Amino acid sequence: MFTLNCKGKLLDIREPVVMGVINVTPDSFYEGSRMMQTNIAGVETAVIDPVLRKAEQMIHDGAGIIDIGAQSSRPGAPLLSAEEELFRLTGVFEALTLHFPDAIFSIDSFYSRVASEAAAAGASIINDISGGSMDRQMLAVAGRSGLPYICMHMRGTPQTMQQLTGYENVTLEVLDYFIARTEACRLAGIKDVIIDPGFGFSKNRRQNFELLRNMPVLKALNKPILAGLSRKSMVYKTLGVGPEQALNGTTALNTLALMHGANILRAHDVREARECIVLFREWQDADRQEDIAAEA
């Protein structure tokens, strides 16, 4: 559970790690993560140099993984095809792996073709917000790739998910979902599965906080847990601000996520998320020292 094999690079998650977010999209909900340009023909493509500079800064700030996505998953975002995603990603993974050969990059896509081509170009983790439900070939492709697979909970699609928030018990229903999906992953030959509760996806604000509070329940699955809370509406709507003013609130929720068992923090702001981890570990160590002293 505590080591992920990322194309032969072993990622130790006994200490929580930060997954930095880079979006080669023009419409992600947080403007600070967008890395796109429009050429003279009106076609949107990634800007390689800013992507490289952003990745370099994230690595410097302590990112253990950098997540690259080419499609916005904000509520109601237009659905792109796999071909459109691949066009936006042209040259991105090749440039990243050339400049940062020791870094670990993940592909954020629910398309098996995008995952496969990104893996061939240098991605070493697959991050699928649909848990394999939006492309029935995804689990098989992930299994054949040998890469770790992030399986997220979501109902419907980003276009419909906000109408699918009816739960009798959101925690138990998310747990049941992961029991079924992790078994499907096992049968598909996926060796390393990370579970993501899907904060903000087909859940209202109250359900998001309930799921965060009850996140230790998911530890029963004996899988690493990824918490994606960064600048989401559960933060900024609760505080009455916008995504741009949600860093402090994100830091507070990231700390709670660590205290409730998160192994990976997916974050737009890597340095601040890494600082959460450093302080959390110091708090843990102090607690252990108290236990040792009491036993002595």
Q: Which residue has the higher pLDDT, 159 or 256?
A: 256
Which one of the listed residues 155, 203, 223, 232 is annotated catalytic? 232
Mean pLDDT of the 204-214 span: 98
C-beta separation of 171 from 126 below 8 A: no
The tokens for 119 are: 């893996």
pLDDT band at residue 41, thresholds of 50, 70 and 90? very low
Is the pLDDT reported for residue 38 higher than 80?
Answer: no
pLDDT band at residue 2, thresholds of 50, 70 and 90? confident
DSSP H stretches of helix in 7-137: 48-61, 82-88, 92-99, 112-121
Predicted confidence at residue 43, as pLDDT, reads 45
Mean pLDDT of the 46-67 span: 92
The sign one gets for the Cα dihedral 214, 132, 129, 278 is positive
Residue range 75-108, pLDDT digits in tens? 777 899 999 999 999 999 999 999 999 999 999 9
Contacts made by residues 173-182, CB under 8 angstroms, sequence distance 24+: 174/198, 174/211, 174/218, 175/217, 175/218, 175/220, 175/221, 177/131, 177/153, 178/151, 178/153, 178/218, 178/221, 178/223, 179/221, 181/131, 181/132, 181/151, 182/151, 182/221, 182/223
Whether 1 is in a domain gets the answer: no
The model's pTM:
0.91
pLDDT band at residue 40, thresholds of 50, 70 and 90? very low
Predicted confidence at residue 295, as pLDDT, reads 65
| Strand 149-152 relative to strand 193-196, pairing | parallel
pLDDT band at residue 143, thresholds of 50, 70 and 90? very high
Our count of domains for the chain comes to 1
pLDDT band at residue 296, thresholds of 50, 70 and 90? low
Whether 2 is in a domain gets the answer: no
pLDDT band at residue 50, thresholds of 50, 70 and 90? confident
Residue range 105-140, pLDDT digits in tens? 999 999 999 999 999 999 999 999 999 999 999 999
Which one of the listed residues 191, 266, 271, 274 is annotated catalytic? 266
Whether 34 is in a domain gets the answer: yes
Predicted confidence at residue 37, as pLDDT, reads 47
Predicted confidence at residue 89, as pLDDT, reads 93
Q: Which residue has the higher pLDDT, 259 or 30?
A: 259
Whether 103 is in a domain gets the answer: yes
Whether 127 is in a domain gets the answer: yes
Residue range 19-37, pLDDT digits in tens? 999 998 875 544 554 455 4
C-beta separation of 24 from 70 below 8 A: yes
C-beta separation of 211 from 174 below 8 A: yes
CATH number where 190 lies = 3.20.20.20
- Show the domain range for 215: 14-295
Predicted confidence at residue 290, as pLDDT, reads 64
User: Is 155 assigned a catalytic role?
Assistant: no
Whether 90 is in a domain gets the answer: yes
Q: Which residue has the higher pLDDT, 294 or 12?
A: 12
User: Is 232 assigned a catalytic role?
Assistant: yes
In the 8-state DSSP scheme, what is residue 28? -
| Strand 44-46 relative to strand 36-38, pairing | antiparallel
Whether 5 is in a domain gets the answer: no
Whether 4 is in a domain gets the answer: no
